Chains A and B, each alone.
Chain A
Amino acid sequence: MYKHYLSALFILLCFHTSNLAENLEFQKKSDTTFANTESKRNTNSPNYKSMYETNILKNLFVSPSDYYRDEWERVSQLDASENGNVNGEQSKNPSNEIKTSNDYKYDESDLDWESQLLDELSKQEKQQSKFENSRNIASPTQVNPLTADRSVQNLMMDMSASVDMVGQWDNNKPQTTSNSLDVREAEFGFFGAIDQFGRGSLIVAAHNEGGRYFFEIHEANIIFPFISKYVNLKLGRFFLDVGRLNRIHRHDWNFTMAPIVHQRLMDAEAVEDTGAEASILFQFWNFMTTELVLGVTNGRYWGHTHTAGVNKNNPMMYAHLKNFVYLGNNWGTQFGATVMRYEIDPVTKSYRMQYGLDSVVRWNQSMLKSFILMSELWYRENRYPDELDPTTFRNNPIPMETFWGYYIMLDYQFLQQWLIGYRYDFFNVPNLRDKNGEFARNAVEGNTIQLTYKPSEFSFIRASVERRYTADFSSDFDPEFVDYRYYLQATFILGAHPAHKY
């Protein structure tokens, strides 16, 4: 019986030896071919190397499979084609005419470009015939898989998170800043189409207020962009479209701290409220575009609050007329005027009228250079009804309170990622009186310089220094002083961030 086993073993051994011999022959051939190919390509292509090494290793243990035979044929073909010889015949294409100034070896099939072109045009024509009268929302036929697949974004809304960190220091006594680095604000935004009529946005933000973070809704509104050919309507909670800065979120400002006039009259970040705002677009002349914004909001409070405010007799109303003058393709301009009416107290019927002028001039050269010159002027009147004198029974007028101020800012992008800026601030209370009832001289003036490094549109780091002069002759204590403040801001945005309005 063992003779049978021995003879079977012998046959297997012979078979294996013959395979081994075949392997070695294949190996020798493939070594030469790959070496030739490698030297001709003069590349260090990892694919070729790994294929070569895999062949050596595998052929030591297994017999040449179909894969290796195919591979052998493919490599031989490649070798032949690079020598201008396909299937043993000299190529009819004028490969000798081809001039290559470097080591790149063209694909032999490139020379057959004419038939490839015809084939491509024919396929294109077939596809086009299927698309006739289509609105291109969906493909009426199977399209080339290499065309863009946009369906992945179906029904998705845009989401973003932005973090605004600000450090502020000074060496004044008493200190005029917090002398710390804090996350000033973290904001989360969601935007998208609601249906065929509305576009929705929800922006919630956490503010650092005295070390505690308060989450609140910044914007939650629905916009009807197509209510009319000229009008769109916004309903909900939003930053009012008044002035220039008020509707821009703080992490997108061109400076770290709010201008002094904005801090005093627009409540540091923005005047926000719930109501309705209509925007009407029209053009009287070709060189100028006009937009009129009309808004009505609850008017229970002015600016930022964590309370429900006070119920008023009249809502807050405002109008903002914006004119955009065409100066050239690289230029953007906006000149606006705002009027706002706000009821301060429903019992005394005192109310506030606030007027503003805003202007922006922008210029850019692609993404390489740009500048923005921006300015806002605000004037506020707090008007009070006459007060009845209980002794004389006569109405005595109460003098109205007035405040005004402005800022001018220039930010110049001198390199693709670097900007340098300057801002001048001024604020004054014209009818401030001292203890004797005389008008008291007063002013707050700020000069700020800043340097911004902006690696991309999704982040920046900004350092700024402010020299602030404060004069208040209504009090006897230190009526004039100058202080220096140092700021460092780092802001980043994750996810999609919608482009802001012009």
Chain B
Amino acid sequence: MSKPKVRKQSLNKNAAKANYYKILNKIFFPKSFFAFVIIFLNLTLPANSVLADKVKIVVTTTDLKYLAEQIGAEKVEVESMIRGFDDPHFVMTRPDFLIKMNKADMFCMIGLDLEIGWVPLLLEQSRNISIQKGQNGYCDASIGINILGKPNVAVDRSMGDLHIYGNPHYWLDPVNMIQMGFNILNNLRLVDPENEAYYKNNFLKFKDKMTQLVRSEMKNMQAHFGLKVAVFHQEFVYLASRFKFNANLSIEERPGIPPSSRYLENVIKTMNSQNIKIILISPVNNPKYAEYVASKVKGAKVLVMPTSVGALPEANTYEDCIQIILRKIREANN
């Protein structure tokens, strides 16, 4: 007789235990647990469509930072991923880049595959859909630029890190800076349409500033039109094109690849025969090759140029960069 009783008790006990687990499950693991996790994670994020006080802009280089600050002024907060003296071709990616991009309202890059080795994956991993290609917050500053250095032949890896869409160092031409500024303005219009007039006004001021810069520097450079210089990397082609000097002779045999001694001898011969006395390099280049060439050409000088804002301590603005580069060239040529 006692058996059924025990069994009943046991059953009751089991049922109670099952209920207890059910309650626990309901509390800690509701059916919509996964939905809850997703909603929670989404709620913890700042809503992207609603802007905070300032538009958060993340850019790849300091030149873009300067430019974005000129146009956005007080209404934007700009962060550059690399410093002026970093090489934009080769950047060691860091996870804090992801956080910056994750929080950004707008992302701007130089484009033309300059940042191909590090930006695409960071963009994808940023988990921020509003700065992806084609979105309002995605800005490629190279749109509308007149590109120089487009390859004339089918490009393959034997030619080094040759950019298939052309030379991406276009920001060293102040007229291109105007177009880059317009591209940033265009995105700011879409991201923060309420302040469009403010941005446009700043853009026009910046445009005037650049036009004045070109005018004054052209006058200074007029006596040096036609000057031939050598460069380490083909990054002065836009500057040379604007200010009418020739910077076609490069010490680098192939982009991104150290030159061979045979090629260096060739460069030395060319410099001697064409009386080229100036070698331009940027702080990110290995100076040894340029110094070696300069040691073999009588009277040759190696000039380290601020190719980006902050590349040298005295180059705090874009105007500083252009003025310092051109002044150094003039002084070396005198």
Interface residues of chain A, those whose CB is within 8 Å of chain B, are 94, 97-107, 110-111, 113-114, 117, 120-121, 124, 127-128, 131-137, 143-144, 146-150, 199, 223, 225-232, 280-281, 283, 289, 291, 324, 326, 329-332, 334, 362, 364, 366-368, 370, 416-417, 455-458, 498-502
A291 proximity list for chain B (CB < 8 A): 95
Contact of A117 among B89, B215, B277 (CB under 8 A): B215
Q: Which of B4-12, B14-22, B68-76, B177-185 contacts A (4 or more CB under 8 A)?
A: B177-185
Q: Is the CB of B102 within 8 A of A102?
A: no
Contact of B226 among A100, A117, A331, A370 (CB under 8 A): A100
Q: Which of B25-33, B51-59, B216-224, B318-326 contacts A (4 or more CB under 8 A)?
A: B216-224
Q: In angstroms, how far is the closest chain A Cβ from the Cβ of B5?
A: 29
Q: In angstroms, how far is the closest chain A Cβ from the Cβ of B122?
A: 9
A144 proximity list for chain B (CB < 8 A): 144, 146
Q: Is the CB of B223 within 8 A of A281?
A: no
Q: In angstroms, how far is the closest chain A Cβ from the Cβ of B4?
A: 29
Report the contact-size class of chain B (Cβ under 8 Å from the partner).
35 or more
Q: Is the CB of B227 within 8 A of A147?
A: no
Known: A148-B166, A150-B165. A329 touches B226 (CB 8 A): no
Contact of A368 among B125, B146, B166, B286 (CB under 8 A): B286
B139 proximity list for chain A (CB < 8 A): 136
Docked Cα-Cα span, A293 to B308, in Å, equals 38
Q: In angstroms, how far is the closest chain A Cβ from the Cβ of B206?
A: 13
Q: Is the CB of A332 within 8 A of B41?
A: no
Residue-by-residue, is B223-241 near A (CB-CB < 8 Å gives 1, otherwise 0)? Answer: 1111110000000000000
Is B303 on the interface with A (CB-CB < 8 A)?
Answer: no
Interface of B is mostly: loop
Known: A102-B274, A102-B275, A106-B244. A324 touches B96 (CB 8 A): yes
B127 proximity list for chain A (CB < 8 A): 225-232, 281
Q: In angstroms, how far is the closest chain B Cβ from the Cβ of A392?
A: 28
Q: Is the CB of B125 within 8 A of A499?
A: no
Q: Is the CB of B214 within 8 A of A117?
A: yes
Is B295 on the interface with A (CB-CB < 8 A)?
Answer: no
Contact of B222 among A97, A223, A230 (CB under 8 A): A97
Is B3 on the interface with A (CB-CB < 8 A)?
Answer: no
Is B145 on the interface with A (CB-CB < 8 A)?
Answer: yes
Docked Cα-Cα span, A405 to B111, in Å, equals 45
Contact of B147 among A106, A134, A146 (CB under 8 A): A146
**B183 and chain A: residue at smallest CB distance:** A136
A281 proximity list for chain B (CB < 8 A): 95, 98-99, 102, 127
Q: Is the CB of B134 within 8 A of A137?
A: yes
Q: Is the CB of B186 within 8 A of A502?
A: no
Interface residues of chain B, those whose CB is within 8 Å of chain A, are 38, 41-42, 44-46, 48, 82-83, 86-87, 89-90, 92-96, 98-99, 102, 111-112, 117-118, 120-121, 124-125, 127-129, 132-136, 138-140, 142-148, 150, 157, 160, 165-166, 175, 178-179, 182-183, 186, 189-190, 211, 214-215, 218, 222-228, 244, 246, 256-258, 274-277, 284, 286, 333
Contact of A148 among B134, B147, B157 (CB under 8 A): B147
B118 proximity list for chain A (CB < 8 A): 499
Q: Is the CB of B90 within 8 A of A502?
A: no
Known: A117-B175, A364-B92, A456-B157. A105 touches B99 (CB 8 A): no
Docked Cα-Cα span, A144 to B150, in Å, equals 14
Docked Cα-Cα span, A135 to B133, in Å, equals 9
Contact of A289 among B48, B98, B117 (CB under 8 A): B98
**A150 and chain B: residue at smallest CB distance:** B165
B246 proximity list for chain A (CB < 8 A): 104
Q: Is the CB of A98 within 8 A of B182?
A: no
A131 proximity list for chain B (CB < 8 A): 143-144, 182, 186
Known: A147-B147, A329-B86, A455-B257. A111 touches B225 (CB 8 A): yes
**A322 and chain B: residue at smallest CB distance:** B95
Q: In angstroms, how far is the closest chain A Cβ from the Cβ of B80?
A: 10
12 contacts between A and B (CB under 8 A): A100-B225, A100-B227, A106-B244, A107-B244, A111-B222, A121-B175, A144-B146, A225-B125, A228-B45, A230-B44, A289-B98, A364-B90
Known: A104-B228, A329-B82. A230 touches B96 (CB 8 A): no
Docked Cα-Cα span, A228 to B87, in Å, equals 32
Docked Cα-Cα span, A85 to B227, in Å, equals 21
Docked Cα-Cα span, A147 to B186, in Å, equals 18
Known: A98-B226, A147-B147. A366 touches B256 (CB 8 A): no
Docked Cα-Cα span, A229 to B225, in Å, equals 53
**B148 and chain A: residue at smallest CB distance:** A146
B226 proximity list for chain A (CB < 8 A): 98, 100, 104-106, 110
B128 proximity list for chain A (CB < 8 A): 226, 229
Contact of B41 among A132, A137, A280 (CB under 8 A): A280
Q: Is the CB of A366 within 8 A of B86?
A: yes
Docked Cα-Cα span, A150 to B41, in Å, equals 37
Docked Cα-Cα span, A98 to B82, in Å, equals 40
A110 proximity list for chain B (CB < 8 A): 225-226, 244
A232 proximity list for chain B (CB < 8 A): 125, 127
Q: Is the CB of B102 within 8 A of A229?
A: yes
Contact of A362 among B92, B125, B138, B189 (CB under 8 A): B92
Known: A281-B99, A289-B96, A458-B157. A230 touches B215 (CB 8 A): no
**A459 and chain B: residue at smallest CB distance:** B157
Contact of A499 among B82, B121, B214 (CB under 8 A): B121
Known: A121-B211, A231-B41, A498-B121. A148 touches B94 (CB 8 A): no
A111 proximity list for chain B (CB < 8 A): 222, 225
Known: A101-B227, A228-B45, A366-B87. A502 touches B146 (CB 8 A): no
Q: Is the CB of A146 within 8 A of B125?
A: no
Docked Cα-Cα span, A225 to B126, in Å, equals 8
B223 proximity list for chain A (CB < 8 A): 97-99
B275 proximity list for chain A (CB < 8 A): 101-103
Q: In angstroms, how far is the closest chain B Cβ from the Cβ of A69?
A: 30
B147 proximity list for chain A (CB < 8 A): 146-148
Q: In angstroms, how far is the closest chain A Cβ from the Cβ of B32?
A: 16
**B246 and chain A: residue at smallest CB distance:** A104
**A287 and chain B: residue at smallest CB distance:** B96
Q: In angstroms, how far is the closest chain A Cβ from the Cβ of B56?
A: 13
Q: Is the CB of B224 within 8 A of A228?
A: no
**B118 and chain A: residue at smallest CB distance:** A499
Known: A104-B227, A456-B257. A502 touches B94 (CB 8 A): yes
Contact of A149 among B144, B160, B165 (CB under 8 A): B165
A132 proximity list for chain B (CB < 8 A): 186, 189
**B225 and chain A: residue at smallest CB distance:** A106
Docked Cα-Cα span, A66 to B333, in Å, equals 44
B186 proximity list for chain A (CB < 8 A): 131-134, 136
Q: In angstroms, how far is the closest chain A Cβ from the Cβ of B87?
A: 4
